Structures are given as structure tokens and as C-alpha cells.
Amino acid sequence: MGKNFRSYLLDLRNTSTHFKGVRMGLTNTLLDGYETARYGTAVFGLSEYLRYQEALSELATVVKARSGTSQRQHQSAAKT
């Protein structure tokens, strides 16, 4: 990928064709959680961590589903 996680999330949020299956709110939740944990002065407690972890799991599910679809498309194209 060659980018850091924050840049990846910003790209997801700012692309004109939003990453298929990823809600805008999801990327905002991840960006807010990342920036709060990394740079914020407020407490990043258990509830904030759990909210961030849930959003991260949702993103991982979407990315895995999409990469599985891409692999099947490539395999199908290779057979023809």
C-alpha cells in the first residue's frame, strides 16, 4: 500500500467514487478515533476503544469481501 493508515482513511473518505460498501460515517469514526488516540488530549478510554475497534472490524470485513470478489473476477478472467 505504501501509505500510512490515516492517509488510507483520508483517501477513502475523499474519493469521488467512495469505496464500495464503506459508509462515510465509518471512515469518519475511524479517523476521529485514530486522531483522538494518537494526538488528542482527552481520555481515550474503553468505550472509545471499543467504538474504534468495532469500526475497524467493519472496515476489515468490507475490504476482505471486496478483495475476495476481485480475486474471483481475476480467476474467472484467467480461465477464459
- The three three-digit cell numbers of residue 76, written as one number: 474467472
Tell me the residue range of the domain where 75 lies: 5-79
What string of pLDDT tens digits covers the 80 residues of the chain?
Answer: 457 888 888 877 777 555 665 778 888 899 999 889 989 998 899 999 999 999 999 988 888 887 776 555 545 555 55
Which amino acid is present at 60?
A
CA distance 38 to 34: 6
Asked whether 56 and 19 are in contact (CB, 8 A), the reply is no
CA distance 11 to 6: 9
3-state secondary structure of 71: helix
Instruction: Indicate the number of domains in the chain.
Output: 1
